[in-house]
Amino acid sequence: MQVKLKGLGKRYNYEWIFRNLTYTFEAGTAYAVLGHNGSGKSTLLTIMAGHNLASEGQLSYRLDGKTVEHDHVYRYLSLTAPYLELVEEFTLLEMLDFHTRFKPLRHQLSTLALIDRMGLQRSKHKFVKDFSSGMKQRLKLGLAIYSDSSLLLLDEPTTNLDQEGVAWYQEHVAQNKEGRLIIVGSNIHHEYSFCDEQLRISDYHVAPRGR
């Protein structure tokens, strides 16, 4: 998946979060979108995922040399972020069965094999609402990383993970990097240390009027 941004801008009320962002994210490459908290990293990722609308500019997608219409982009991407919710009334097995109805897993991986890879074997029949915050984050990451998607968007991916969880994230995202466009929104080095390129969102900030 290739994603092109041309003159992209986003504002809330009269305040521009970023503006005049022209950039191309190339297929098969991992990018880090860097910036302090509130700088617009999450906003940019949600715009690329179709969860948010840009205020100006153009956004286009291409896959295997063909244009992907905006209405169909969701089929080819995975997004994980701290603000996204899981269906907590499901057990882990039910959650995976529900998810894979819409997004099959990479390399025809089975749901039981994914549970093993997430290290959640003892929680197969446990309700997601009873998971710890770290377990929920590992589940979110497992669903995103192992979904059969060409575009992987990771917003603050190690939120709520301990040192062991961070090591798990680094291992599994590295194992599933090949052939995908990966974009990480972060300001923590261990979350994006594997990335090939960096985009600093603060380079596209607009000073408020009167300054």
pLDDT in tens, the chain (211 residues): 999 999 999 999 889 999 999 999 999 999 999 999 889 999 999 999 999 999 999 999 999 999 999 999 999 999 999 999 999 999 999 999 999 999 999 999 999 999 999 999 999 999 999 999 999 999 999 999 999 999 999 999 999 999 999 999 999 999 999 999 999 999 999 999 999 999 999 999 876 554 4
Contact 74, 50 (CB under 8 A): yes
pLDDT at 211: 43
2-204 topology per CATH: Rossmann fold (3.40.50)
pLDDT at 70: 94
Contact 134, 160 (CB under 8 A): yes
- Name the token pair of 12: 């809330």
pLDDT at 15: 92
Q: Give pTM, 2 decimals.
A: 0.94
Contact 138, 157 (CB under 8 A): no
pLDDT at 209: 56
Q: How many CB atoms lie within 10 A of CB 4?
A: 15
pLDDT at 14: 87
| Alpha-carbon gap, residue 144 to 140, rounded angstroms | 6
Q: Which of 84, 184, 167 is nearest to 128 (CA)?
A: 84
Contact 182, 173 (CB under 8 A): yes
